[in-house]
C-alpha cells in the first residue's frame, strides 16, 4: 500500500493569548484576522473566541493558534498539534 507525505505549505497563524485581541484596540493583529473579525467569521461570544466554518462554528481556546490555510480558510489548532506540524519560516 502506498504511503503519502503532506506537502510543505506556508500558512499564517496567530496565537490566541487571552482576551487581549478583544480588549486591546492596539493589539497587533494580522490583516487577515482583522478582516475576518470585521466580516464576522471570527467573533467573541459567551466568553470565548469562535470561528465560523462550513463544518460549523469552532471554539478557539486561550493558547490555541488561529490558522489561515492555503485557501484562506480559518480554523483553530491546539498548541501541541501546531508544534508537531509547523515550524517558523523566515521571509
Q: How many CB atoms lie within 10 A of CB 53?
A: 13
- Whole-model pTM: value is 0.84
What integer pLDDT is reported at residue 19 of this predicted model? 62
Mean pLDDT along residues 14-37 = 82
For the chain, what is the mean pLDDT? Answer: 89
Give the long-range contacts of residues 78-83, CB within 8 A, separation 24 or more. Answer: 82/13
Mean pLDDT along residues 34-63 = 92
Mean pLDDT along residues 22-36 = 84
Amino acid at each position: 500500500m502506498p504511503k503519502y507525505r503532506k506537502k510543505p505549505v506556508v500558512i499564517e497563524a496567530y496565537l490566541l493569548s487571552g482576551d487581549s485581541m478583544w480588549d486591546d484596540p492596539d493589539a497587533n493583529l494580522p490583516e487577515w484576522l482583522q478582516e475576518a473579525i470585521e466580516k464576522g467569521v471570527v467573533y467573541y461570544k459567551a466568553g470565548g473566541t469562535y470561528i465560523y466554518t462550513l463544518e460549523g462554528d469552532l471554539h478557539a481556546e486561550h493558547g490555541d493558534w488561529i490558522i489561515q490555510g492555503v485557501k484562506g480558510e480559518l480554523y483553530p489548532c491546539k498548541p501541541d498539534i501546531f508544534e508537531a506540524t509547523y515550524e517558523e519560516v523566515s521571509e
